[in-house]
Amino acid sequence: MASLEPEVLVVTDEGHRAHRSASAHAERPERADAVAAALRRASFASRLRFVSPGRATSAEVERIHARTYVQELATVCARGGGWLDADTYATPSSLDVAMVAVGAALRAARAVVDGEARTAFAATRPPGHHAERDRAMGFCLLDQIAIAADDLIVTGRASRVFVFDFDVHHGNGTQNAFWERGDVFYASMHQSPCYPGTGARHEIGRGDGEGTTLNVPLAPGTGPEEWLAALDELVVPAIEDFRPDVLLFSAGFDAHRADPLAQCELESATFYEITRRACEAARPTTKGRAASVLEGGYDLTALGE
């Protein structure tokens, strides 16, 4: 087994800058650049190892997304790009950028299971958790976290994966990917009402997946104490009961009080506490194996913090 030092593998790729809207847009290259810059100057930078991802294969992506959708996205990009919905754009390079972002999520998730690192962070873009099997939405083209979770199961690296999504917007795409599966638990804490309008408490999965979806909708204005209390009451017991082999985070930071796209009131330090408590709950079975994939977060200073 490879050494577990340094403690955190950071997967980044400067090619993400080719995915940029021609007009002003919240989901912009400066987001990932702010994260990478903050990590490189952090007091703990010596504990980080930066690596570049490979490009995901079509076979890996098409376990979650319909082939026809990926082909349609390729056609849009080949024609110069355009708007895929009211919020989501594509450039000529966007499919390539999204495939590399998926590759980053795969690299991070595999690394923590294969023993290359104890924890890993895929600091890439665009985000992914809104992307459905057959359509883009909510700034998202391909659902990186869903593809990574599925990959761990398909490749035999894990038999039970817990995905914890703390982005302020509900991850409808990830929820739907595992709606009828019992091997991946999807838990989301998010603002409600808020885009995309899904993620009610009664949404718990179906068939083999009944009981392996947990939604914790929180009102606009929710602050750190309420958020952490709900985490302790609902998400921590779910992690403990599910006994996952690995913990994956859909790490969106737009519940921060400074974020322009929602109305929650979390502080930068709250996200540390969310992650710490979830990792501790999972530790008896994960042995600390956890990987994070960047989702939202649109105030650059807050995102860097």
* 262-275 tens-digit pLDDT: 999 999 999 999 99
pTM: 0.97
Question: Where are the extended beta strands (E) located within 181-301?
Answer: 184-191, 213-218, 246-251, 290-294
Quick one: pLDDT at residue 6? 57
Which of these, 113, 253, 118, 69, lies nearest to 98 by C-alpha position? 69
CA distance linking residue 182 with residue 286, whole number of Å? 18
Let me know if 130 is a catalytic residue. yes
Among candidate residues 19, 130, 169, 256, the one labeled active-site is: 130
Quick one: pLDDT at residue 1? 42
Number of H helices, E strands in the chain: 10, 10
In order of 21, 27, 57, 157, the CA distances from 276 in angstroms are 35, 27, 33, 23
CB 291 within 8 A of CB 147: no
CB 145 within 8 A of CB 248: yes
**Helix 94-114 crosses helix 144-154 at what angle (to 10 degrees)?**
40
Residues of the chain with pLDDT under 50: 1-4
Quick one: pLDDT at residue 7? 85
Quick one: pLDDT at residue 22? 94
Provide the residue type at 269 as one letter: A
Query: Which tens digits make up the pLDDT trace of 64-94?
Result: 999 999 999 999 999 999 999 999 999 999 9
Report CA dihedral (265, 269, 275, 279) to the nearest 10 degrees. -140
Which of these, 232, 250, 240, lies nearest to 286 by C-alpha position? 240
Quick one: pLDDT at residue 193? 98
CB 264 within 8 A of CB 255: yes
